[in-house]
Amino acid sequence: QQQVKQSPQSLIVQKGGISIINCAYENTAFDYFPWYQQFPGKGPALLIAIRPDVSEKKEGRFTISFNKSAKQFSLHIMDSQPGDSATYFCAASRGSTLGRLYFGRGTQLTVWP
């Protein structure tokens, strides 16, 4: 059973546009929610992460929005660039400092120039 559900599976955005990827979870014990970016042939790289005590976190062009009551969180990429084309994974863990990550299935983002 998928602990973290991610959508859409693929996303095509024009350069300069906003990319939005959504994730949902059921386990209320989750208290750490990272997003990873993965390029072909590489390992996932941590992009940005949030804890449920805040509703939004922004780092540069990347923003996580978190809705604790709905058990949903999303990644927004502002001013999307061709270099952002990659696969994005949301994840969650029960430990905010340690423990296994439960990953979504991934979203393949393509940004057209």
Partner 1 sequence: GAGVSQTPSNKVTEKGKYVELRCDPISGHTALYWYRQSLGQGPEFLIYFQGTGAADDSGLPNDRFFAVRPEGSVSTLKIQRTERGDSAVYLCASSLIGSSYNEQFFGPGTRLTVL
- Residue of 43, 53, 69, 83 interacting with partner 1 (CB under 8 A): 43
Work out how close the CB of 16 gets to partner 1 at its nearest, in angstroms, rounded to a whole number. 28
- Dist. CA 40–CA 14, nearest whole Å: 21
Question: Which member of 8, 67, 95, 112 binds partner 1 (CB under 8 A)?
Answer: 95
Q: Which two tokens stand for residue 59?
A: 């780092």
Judged by beta carbon, residue 32 or residue 73, the one nearer partner 1 is 32
Work out the number of other CB atoms within 10 angstroms of the CB of residue 52.
17
Residue 41 touching partner 1 (CB under 8 A) = yes
- Figure out which of the listed residues 75, 86, 101, 111 binds partner 1, where binding follows CB under 8 A: 101
| Residue 104 interacting with partner 1 (CB under 8 A) | yes
Distances (CA, A) of 102 to 12, 80, 93, 99: 25, 26, 6, 10
Tell me the number of residues near partner 1 by CB under 8 A. Answer: 27
Among 13, 19, 35, 44, contact with partner 1 (rule: CB under 8 A) = 44
Distance (Å) of CA 63 to CA 33, 50, 102, 113: 12, 10, 20, 22
